[in-house]
């Protein structure tokens, strides 16, 4: 069944038992993103390591989300990939995920490039075949990107 | 349960209903509230128009121009007849309901006193409006300094009119409401709202987008001032909508857009405007689309709108029964078929509608998921979105059965790992 | 004189060109500036859309909804490519040019400072505009207190730009002009106008309704801020138009109409708006019509817009020669084919164009008569109306010959009683 | 040739040599009517007989017009039918002309009724087949009707 290429067991697991869920203190920036076409929502906080490193560690990402299995699982998988990583590494994961989502289901050519970086998140490969769901899969990542940009700015101002 | 329509024959008129999806699944199209399918008769009228008569209208005297004008204006006659307008010039063609409602909101706002909207005036809408009947009023009230207020919704998905006299006040200039909700299915008690609006001298705008396709619509009996609906939901093409208005009101209101067709006399310094309905139809109109809508109206009239309504009522009652027997399913909206249209929104346990819709699609069942452009309703009922099945004249009870079976499959799919297919 | 197009083959694509009128007269369609005919390829795309994929766009996840969305957004890609837009989201679908121009005028007027129109600001247009690029600016300047001024026309039908620095001043906020006149045929010197507008920081709006169908159009090379055109004049269906805008400008401008599709988040009290291009596309868009326009753009691109332009230039030169040899005929507009489109207006002695057009029609020749929605041009040239023959990619020199013969017949018909046929 | 049903010799004659043309004094009311679709224009003056008769005589109708043969001939024929007649008689001609124009070329049923009243104006029968030209034929009549209504009001006020 084609559908199972989207609803991989890994995705359903994250959906049923999301990681890093809940809003926590302290945080440097908080954003609220919505997917206007379907009403998915995520509130997401980012906490970067203190100090003035060019490449700080992503200390925590906490969130509260409402949405479909794809968007919920995606934000959960995302936190696994970025929390505890350096900002550069996390950004690499972000870029890789975007690349994967843009393949329209034809991911063979990029798999080599993204596989190592994305770990569990390669399970979202099948979602890229469903244009209407790509936004769901991206929601959490976009929120993270936005919150991180704000957190960096805040740190720089401080 | 028997339908007054010969549905199997009706279905043969709709080419798309022969589609299969996902390799071999026959299409079960339960998304007519978003847009209806089109019968061959409508598609032929459009094709004939382009192949035989295509020309710009009104301004030509050559044969094709006269034919195209006669077809376009003939479509107006058909629509006027369909809604029982007192006068054909009360029928203004727009591109969709949304343009019709924006037109209404803007020209009322711009009008001279006593019509125009001013600081301190009030516009009343309802919490169950489609975004197309919310946002235009937000925009014009913001620009004019008028305030926007609204009726709430009861737990069973009806308008809460208990405080109607406090919501519609002497300062209310406009009351705009949806006749049939696209998300809840509710048919609203127009008479009561119109009566109160009349008491305070407010204009009444009715969003009939989900009414015109499904029920006999008589604009004179309705008693409103302006009524909007859209072609693509009533067997017609995309790109065409209608604003009906009382002739004397339309005459007083200023034009919405300026340009060709809508003028009487233009000099560089100033212009005067054409008579109704052209005053509100700037530019080359959606000619082929009006012709298609005319054919759609003929198609519906030949079946009989009372029969269409009866058929849908039957399907709705059947679907409500069967759906509410599904474990974990909660209908958002009236739970009986009384005063109710054929759009049924529901949530299934704590499954997100996106997931429900996706799995149904895999089975060939097309439902809509999301907020259905009525996000305040979702907020009111504390859900991020709903799954909506909506029926039309070609819908069958077998399709309802397919939906119910599909929902059981959905539950299994997302159930405990062991329960997955 | 040889055409770069295989016109006989092109003509076979257009079903309407097989029509006969008045019993047995083959149609000679010389009214393409009013609306073009449609090739079978476009009609098939529309029919396929309705028969196989029809669904509402964007908000659905079922198969048909995804297919319809892909087709609709695919049409946007095609149009973006056709006009060389830097970004697909700069292409906004409207119902026609007129809506595109009204959208432009209203959102510029409503915009926050420094964009918005205020008392004392100036808008500059030209005397050769179509009413659709005059009346919207009259309406918004009246509402905002801005003033409207314009460039005049020279005796040979060109824009009089001799006083360009006095017409476009430091107070000019918007300059809006037609790239190719629908009545005079003039192709205007965009570069010179854009340069001066840039000097004073004014926005530039271009009405490309008669340019997009006939010439290669490159919005980036043009250097304007907003460009409007209309589908039905470029082999596409009625009911669809385009507003192209620079991305950063469109982002700053407020929305025109409110409703479904154009929102990000709606609460009863207020709303936020969607990203480009959806912010400007309220309501169900003209989906099938966009698909048809996409097919039209494919059709034109396959022929090559440079070849289309060359063919029309050839026909125009031939027609100007032959027409100006008709005794008593006076061309209103440039008398040579240089910087000129394929619409030729003329008067014949003191015969009224209505009479000319009527007699030509009896011969099967379809020309347009009247003020062509550009009444100020008629006033400028002291004529109540003109007869206009306009050519397109399917026009032939034989059709020009038929027109010239027809005009001789017209003269005999209204001549001294003895001279009547 | 079908076209000749519209361009009757009588019409072409009035077009070439219009009757009552030119703007004259005195007049009780003047109006300017246009046919926006094609730019036909007429300026028309009406002079009614003095006195407070319910049914005054139409003393003069003078006009200046720009337009096609049909609109020019029609106003000329119209003046022949109303000048020197009582207002009632003139209005009867107006009504008859409207009736004729509404027949869409199928005038047989109304011919008996309108023939006597309309005299030369029955020649416009053929015009009723051409929807776009009916407005041309009506332009002068509409202007006369409007000017007359104003003239009557003016007299009543005086
Ligand atoms: C130059 C020009 N501008 C604007 C328009 C208006 O186009 P539309 O009627 O499709 O809105 C036209 C055609 O009618 C035109 O020729
Ligand atoms: C109740 C209601 N109002 C308005 C609309 C808007 O119609 P359209 O999108 O055709 O403008 C719709 C449908 O989308 C609707 O269901």
The CATH number covering residue A122 comes to 3.90.1010.10
- Indicate the domain borders of chain C: 7-30+304-414, 42-301
Closest partner residue to B58 among D34, D37, D133, by Cβ? Answer: D37
Distance from CA of A75 to the nearest CA of B (A): 16
Q: How far is the CA of C91 from the centre of ligand 1 (A)?
A: 18
- A44, A104 Cβ separation under 8 angstroms: no
Alpha-carbon distance B73 to B56, whole Å?
12
Distance from CA of B206 to the nearest CA of C (A): 15
Rounded CA Rg of chain B: 22
Alpha-carbon distance C287 to B285, whole Å?
16
Alpha-carbon distance B333 to B324, whole Å?
12
**What is the residue-wise DSSP string for C173-188?**
EEEEEESB-TTT-BBP
Ligand nearest to the CA of C126: 1
**Does residue B253 surpass a pLDDT of 80?**
yes
Site of tokens 């047989």: D108
Closest partner residue to B264 among D36, D131, D132, by Cβ? Answer: D36
Residue A38 sits in which domain range?
3-157
Distance from CA of B354 to the nearest CA of A (A): 6
For chain D, how many structural domains are there in total? 1
Alpha-carbon distance C115 to C107, whole Å?
9
Site of tokens 């991180």: A148
Give the residue from D40, D132, D134 with the most B CB atoms within 10 Å of its CB, the best one to mutate: D132
Q: Per residue of chain A (158 residues), give pLDDT as tens.
A: 578 888 999 999 999 899 999 999 999 999 999 887 667 889 999 999 987 788 999 999 999 998 899 999 999 999 999 999 999 999 999 999 999 999 887 888 888 889 889 998 999 999 998 888 899 999 999 999 999 999 999 888 76
The finding on whether C129 has its CB within 6 A of some atom of ligand 1 is no
- C256, B365 Cβ separation under 8 angstroms: no
List of chains touching D (3+ CB pairs within 8 A): B, C
Ligand nearest to the CA of B183: 2
Q: How far is the CA of B209 from the centre of ligand 2 (A)?
A: 6
Chain A's closest residue to B378, CA to CA, is: A39
Q: How far is the CA of B102 from the centre of ligand 2 (A)?
A: 12
Nearest to C241 by CA among C182, C185, C281, C187: C281
On whether any CB of chain B is under 8 Å from the CB of C135, the answer is yes
Please name every residue paired with D157 in a beta bridge, in sequence order, or none if there are none: none
What residues of C are labeled active site?
A: 373
> In chain C, what residues touch D1 (CB-CB under 8 Å)?
362, 421
The finding on whether C230 has its CB within 6 A of some atom of ligand 1 is yes
Nearest to B398 by CA among B361, B364, B362: B364
Structure confidence at residue B264 (pLDDT):
85
Structure confidence at residue B418 (pLDDT):
35
Alpha-carbon distance C161 to C177, whole Å?
12
Contact residues of ligand 2, CB 6 A cut-off: B 96-98, 130, 132-133, 178, 182, 207, 209-210, 230, 232, 241, 373; C 260, 283-284
pLDDT band for B222, please (50, 70, 90 cuts): very high
Kind of pairing between the strands at B329-332 and B343-348 = antiparallel
> Number of CB pairs < 8 Å for A and C?
20
**Does residue B133 surpass a pLDDT of 80?**
yes
Nearest to C71 by CA among C247, C234, C289, C225: C289
> In chain D, what residues touch C369 (CB-CB under 8 Å)?
38
Kindly name the residue from B51, B235, B373, B378 that is annotated as catalytic.
B373
Nearest to C403 by CA among C387, C383, C381: C387
Closest partner residue to A37 among C58, C66, C70, by Cβ? Answer: C58
Mean pLDDT of D42-57: 90
Atom of ligand 2 lying closest to residue B180 CA: 1
CATH number assigned to the domain with residue range B42-301, chosen from the 4 options 3.30.70.330, 3.40.640.10, 3.30.300.30, 3.40.50.720? 3.40.640.10
Distance from CA of B86 to the nearest CA of A (A): 40
pLDDT digits (tens, 9 = 90+) for B162-212: 999 999 999 999 999 999 999 999 999 999 999 999 999 999 999 999 999
- List, in order, residues 6 or more apart from B2 with CB less than 8 Å away: B314
Alpha-carbon distance A127 to A6, whole Å?
5
Q: Which residues of chain C have pLDDT under 70?
A: 1, 416-421
The finding on whether C106 has its CB within 6 A of some atom of ligand 1 is no
Structure confidence at residue C1 (pLDDT):
63
> Number of CB pairs < 8 Å for B and C?
325
Interface predicted TM-score (ipTM) of this complex, two decimals: 0.93
- D56, D28 Cβ separation under 8 angstroms: no
- List, in order, residues 6 or more apart from B147 with CB less than 8 Å away: B120, B121, B122, B123, B141
> Hey, what are C267's tokens?
């609460």
**What is the residue-wise DSSP string for chain A?**
-THHHHS-HHHHHHHHS-SSBB--S--SEEEEEEETTTTEEEEEEEEEPSS--SS-BEEEEEEEEES-HHHHHHHHHHHHHHTTSBHHHHHHHHHHHHHHHTTTT--HHHHHHHHHHHGGGGGGGGGGG-HHHHHHHHHHHHHHHHHHHHHHHHHHH-
Give the residue from D2, D3, D37 with the most B CB atoms within 10 Å of its CB, the best one to mutate: D37
A/D touch flag: 3 or more CB pairs below 8 Å: no
Mean pLDDT of chain A: 91
Alpha-carbon distance B241 to B281, whole Å?
12
Nearest to C56 by CA among B179, B29, A139, B28: B29
Q: Say if the Cβ atoms of A41 and B359 lie within 8 Å.
A: no
| CB atoms near residue C156 (< 10 Å) | 12
- Dihedral angle sign, alpha carbons of residues A119, A121, A127, A131: negative
Distances (CA, A) of B254 to B104, B117, B257, B279, B349: 10, 13, 9, 8, 51
> Hey, what are C62's tokens?
């079922």
Structure confidence at residue B419 (pLDDT):
35
Give the residue from D6, D39, D64, D73 with the most C CB atoms within 10 Å of its CB, the best one to mutate: D39
Q: How far is the CA of B370 from the centre of ligand 2 (A)?
A: 15
| CB atoms near residue B336 (< 10 Å) | 13
Rounded CA Rg of chain C: 22
On whether any CB of chain D is under 8 Å from the CB of C382, the answer is no
Q: How far is the CA of C322 from the centre of ligand 2 (A)?
A: 53
Please name every residue paired with B227 in a beta bridge, in sequence order, or none if there are none: B206, B244
DSSP state of D49: P
- A141, A74 Cβ separation under 8 angstroms: yes
**Does residue B421 surpass a pLDDT of 60?**
no
Structure confidence at residue D132 (pLDDT):
83
- B162, B189 Cβ separation under 8 angstroms: no
- D26, D47 Cβ separation under 8 angstroms: yes
On whether any CB of chain A is under 8 Å from the CB of C61, the answer is yes
Q: How many residues does chain D have?
A: 158
A122-126, B20-24, B414-418, C397-401: least confident range: B414-418
Range B7-30+304-414 classified under CATH 3.90.1150.10: yes
- B188, B209 Cβ separation under 8 angstroms: no
Q: Say if the Cβ atoms of B417 and A9 lie within 8 Å.
A: yes
- C207, C228 Cβ separation under 8 angstroms: yes
Q: Say if the Cβ atoms of B61 and C22 lie within 8 Å.
A: no
pTM of this structure: 0.95
pLDDT digits (tens, 9 = 90+) for D118-141: 998 999 999 998 888 899 999 999
Higher pLDDT, A92 or B384: A92
On whether any CB of chain B is under 8 Å from the CB of C46, the answer is yes
pLDDT digits (tens, 9 = 90+) for D66-76: 889 999 999 99
The residues in B 337-366 lying below 8 A from C, measured between CB atoms, are 354, 357-358, 360-361, 365-366
């Amino acid at each position: 069944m084609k559908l199972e290429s989207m609803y991989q067991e890994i995705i359903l697991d994250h959906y049923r038992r999301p990681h890093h869920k809940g809003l926590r203190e302290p945080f440097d920036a908080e954003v609220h993103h919505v997917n206007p076409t379907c009403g998915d929502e995520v509130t997401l906080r980012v906490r970067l390591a203190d100090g003035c490193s060019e490449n700080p560690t992503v200390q925590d990402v906490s969130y509260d989300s409402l949405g479909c299995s794809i968007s919920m699982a995606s934000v959960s998988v995302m936190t696994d990939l970025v929390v505890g990583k350096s900002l550069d590494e996390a950004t690499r994961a972000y870029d890789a995920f975007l690349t994967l989502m843009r393949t329209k289901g034809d991911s063979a050519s990029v798999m080599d490039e993204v596989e190592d970086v994305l770990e569990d998140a390669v399970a979202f490969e099948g979602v890229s075949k469903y244009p209407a769901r790509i936004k769901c899969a991206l929601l959490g990542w976009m929120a993270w990107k936005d919150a991180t940009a704000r957190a960096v700015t805040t740190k720089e101002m401080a | 349960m028997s339908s007054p329509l010969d549905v199997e024959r009706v279905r043969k008129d709709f080419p798309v209903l022969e589609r299969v999806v996902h390799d071999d699944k026959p299409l079960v199209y339960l998304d007519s509230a978003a847009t209806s399918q089109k019968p061959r008769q409508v598609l032929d009228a459009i094709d004939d128009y382009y192949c035989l008569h295509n020309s710009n209208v009104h301004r030509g005297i050559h044969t094709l121009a006269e034919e195209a004008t006669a077809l376009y204006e003939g479509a107006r006659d058909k629509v006027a007849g369909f809604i029982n307008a007192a006068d054909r010039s009360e029928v203004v063609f727009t591109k969709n309901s949304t343009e019709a409602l924006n037109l209404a909101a803007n020209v009322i706002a711009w009008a001279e006193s006593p019509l125009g909207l001013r600081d301190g005036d009030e516009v009343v809408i309802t919490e169950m409006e489609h975004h197309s009947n919310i946002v235009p009023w937000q925009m014009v009230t913001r620009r004019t300094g008028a305030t926007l207020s609204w009726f709430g919704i009861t737990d069973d998905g009806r308008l809460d009119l208990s405080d109607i006299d406090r919501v519609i006040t002497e300062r209310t200039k406009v009351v705009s409401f949806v006749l049939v909700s696209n998300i809840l299915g509710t048919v609203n008690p127009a008479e009561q709202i119109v009566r109160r609006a009349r008491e305070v001298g407010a204009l009444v705008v009715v969003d009939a987008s989900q009414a015109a396709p499904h029920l006999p619509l008589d604009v004179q009996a309705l008693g409103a001032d302006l009524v909007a609906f859209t072609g693509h939901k009533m067997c017609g093409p995309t790109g065409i909508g209608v604003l009906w208005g009382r002739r004397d009101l339309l005459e007083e209101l200023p034009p919405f857009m300026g340009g060709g067709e809508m003028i009487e006399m233009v000099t560089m310094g100033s212009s005067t405007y054409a008579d109704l309905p052209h005053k509100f139809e700037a530019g080359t109109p959606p000619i082929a689309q009006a012709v298609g809508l005319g054919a759609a109206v003929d198609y519906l009239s030949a079946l009989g709108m009372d029969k269409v309504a009866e058929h849908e009522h039957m399907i709705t009652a059947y679907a409500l029964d069967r759906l509410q027997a599904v474990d974990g399913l909660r209908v958002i909206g009236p739970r009986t078929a009384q005063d109710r249209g054929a759009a049924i929104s529901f949530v299934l346990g704590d499954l997100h509608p996106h997931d429900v819709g996706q799995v149904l699609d895999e089975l060939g069942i097309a439902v809509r998921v999301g907020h259905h452009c009525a996000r305040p309703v979702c907020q009111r009922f504390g859900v991020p979105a709903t799954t909506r099945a909506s029926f039309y004249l070609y819908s069958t009870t077998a399709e309802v059965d397919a939906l119910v079976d599909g929902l059981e499959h959905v539950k299994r799919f997302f159930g405990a790992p062991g329960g997955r297919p």
